[in-house]
Amino acid sequence: MWLWLTSLPGISSAKITRLLERFDTVFDIYSASAGDFAGIDGISKIDIAQLSDKSMQRTEQILAAVNAMGACILYYDDAGFPSALRYCYEPPYVLYVLGERLLWDRLFCISVVGTRKFTEYGAKITYSIAYDLARHGITIVSGMARGLDGIAHNAALKAGGKTVAFLGSGINVVYPPEHGDLMRAIAQNGAVITEFMPGTEAYGKNFPYRNRLIAAFSQGVLVTEAPKKSGTLSTANWALNSGKDVFAVAGDYDRIMSLGCNELIKSGAAKLTDSAMDILAEYAPQLEKLGIEWKDVSLPKRRIINQTPVNTVKQASISDPQYQELGEDEKAILSILISKNAHIDEICRESGMEIGNVSAILTLLELSGFINQLAGKNFSILI
């Protein structure tokens, strides 16, 4: 019945909240007649017509789609529903989850968010902080978007930690499309969550609304890089409005991609942060109760390898053991660099990927010690 209610066209979370103020349970809402809905604030005649349709056909289609992909559904009145989301602004009454069935209320979560059009500085600081947080038992939460969100998830995975992604689309809609491998990796080491029913496309309006869940699910939100007008800042605003901590990384005063972060810090809305230590120290009592060691925080360790381009030593192969845990996109780029040093534009042409995606992957590969950046945005593989 929760599926029936949440899948009715036009019946938003806010309207469901009003309905529950009149009726005690979702069963009572389903059992009510058209006349019972009269006089409820915000419930229109069109809404009443929708609520009068008791067909379960759409519900059966949703269940079939969820079962087909091995996902599960959490309902608002389930004991296992995340408490942080049960009491947030306009709570989601149904959550679709792909991945592990985690003990949500026992997780210590920090959201790490940033712009899609990031700089190399933004990529490195995001990776560094997210990696260290994850390595010390913190669950990294983000939106699986292009850019710094994806880098935060990848850093958590590389650290062997847990990560949770909130989607602005249905659980069976991969967005952006190139994050299919990342989505599967997150599901295997955490969870992918959405309130949107299966088949929902990634409409632009979904993402600011989705951001309230990213903020609510976490103890604090870290913004690593964002211009002044950025969707990323909506997550920070949701966090501030709900009394959550906000952290931000400062950047050069003339770097456009740092202006949003700088403004958060200057206004006192966010705490200045340049390492995982700044965040972990903020939650010392809670972390100690959870048995999380936070006083010995260091930057992520790179693979210590021969820092010589492969072309001058020996020929590598994409089938070598060190590459087997990488995703298909990472392997595609490495395959290009195995045969030659290449400029980022050449890598884009030969891989068929967009420059934003290629730039993010190159940053991750460099931070992990697989490749080396040469002068003029040229790259070489390392062994």
Q: Which tokens is 334 given?
A: 């490495």
From 38-42, 257-261, 289-293, 310-314, the region with the lowest mean pLDDT: 310-314
Residue 329 pLDDT greater than 50, yes or no: yes
251-293 pLDDT tens trace: 988 888 899 999 999 999 999 999 999 999 999 888 877 777 6
More confident site: 382 or 72? 72
| End position of a domain, from candidates 236, 255, 289 | 289
> Cis peptide leading into 208, omega within 30 of 0?
no
Is residue 61 in some structural domain?
no
Rounded CA gap, 65 and 61, in Å? 6
Quick one: 113 and 229 in the same domain? yes
Write down the pLDDT at residue 312: 41
Write down the pLDDT at residue 293: 65
| End position of a domain, from candidates 257, 289, 321 | 289
Is residue 72 in some structural domain?
no
Write down the pLDDT at residue 314: 43
Is residue 66 in some structural domain?
no
Give the CATH number for residue 354: 1.10.10.10
Quick one: 317 and 361 in the same domain? yes
pLDDT classification of 300: cutoffs 50, 70, 90: very low
Write the secondary structure of 254-312 as one string of H (helix), E (strand) and C (coil).
CCHHHHHHHHHHHCCCCEECCCHHHHHHHCHHHHHHCCCCCCCCCCCCCCCCCCCEHHH
Residue 324 pLDDT greater than 70, yes or no: yes
pLDDT classification of 294: cutoffs 50, 70, 90: low
Q: Which tokens is 378 given?
A: 């040229």
Please count the other Cβ atoms lying within 10 Å of the Cβ belonging to residue 353. 18
What's the number of domains the chain is made of? Answer: 3
In contact, 114 and 225? CB cutoff 8 Å: yes
DSSP 100: -
Quick one: 279 and 314 in the same domain? no
Write down the pLDDT at residue 289: 77
Strand, helix or coil for residue 153: helix
Q: Which tokens is 77 given?
A: 């009145």
pLDDT classification of 315: cutoffs 50, 70, 90: low
Quick one: 109 and 184 in the same domain? yes
For residue 296, the number of C-alpha atoms closer than 13 Å in the C-beta half-sphere is: 2
Quick one: 27 and 146 in the same domain? no
Domain that holds residue 322: 310-381
Give the CATH number for residue 282: 3.40.50.450
DSSP 380: E
Residue 150 pLDDT greater than 70, yes or no: yes
Quick one: 374 and 255 in the same domain? no
pLDDT classification of 363: cutoffs 50, 70, 90: confident
Rounded CA gap, 130 and 243, in Å? 22
- Give the whole-number percent of the chain exceeding pLDDT 90: 68
Is residue 299 in some structural domain?
no
| Residues 40-44: contacts with CB under 8 Å, at least 24 apart | 42/14, 42/15, 42/18, 43/15, 43/18, 43/19
Q: Which residues of 298-327 are buried (b: 16+ CB within 10 A; e: fewer)?
A: eebeeeeeeeebbeeeeebeeeeeebeebb
Q: Which amino acid is at 86?
A: R
Quick one: 269 and 328 in the same domain? no
Is residue 77 in some structural domain?
no
Is residue 30 in some structural domain?
yes
Is residue 121 in some structural domain?
yes
| End position of a domain, from candidates 255, 289, 323 | 289
Residue 309 pLDDT greater than 50, yes or no: no
Is residue 203 in some structural domain?
yes
From 134-148, 208-222, 310-324, the region with the lowest mean pLDDT: 310-324
Quick one: 167 and 244 in the same domain? yes
Quick one: 171 and 249 in the same domain? yes
Arithmetic mean of pLDDT over the chain: 89
Quick one: 323 and 282 in the same domain? no
- Region 353-359: mean pLDDT is 79
In DSSP terms, 290 is beta-bridged to: none
Quick one: 255 and 216 in the same domain? yes
More confident site: 238 or 229? 238
Quick one: 236 and 204 in the same domain? yes
Write down the pLDDT at residue 383: 66
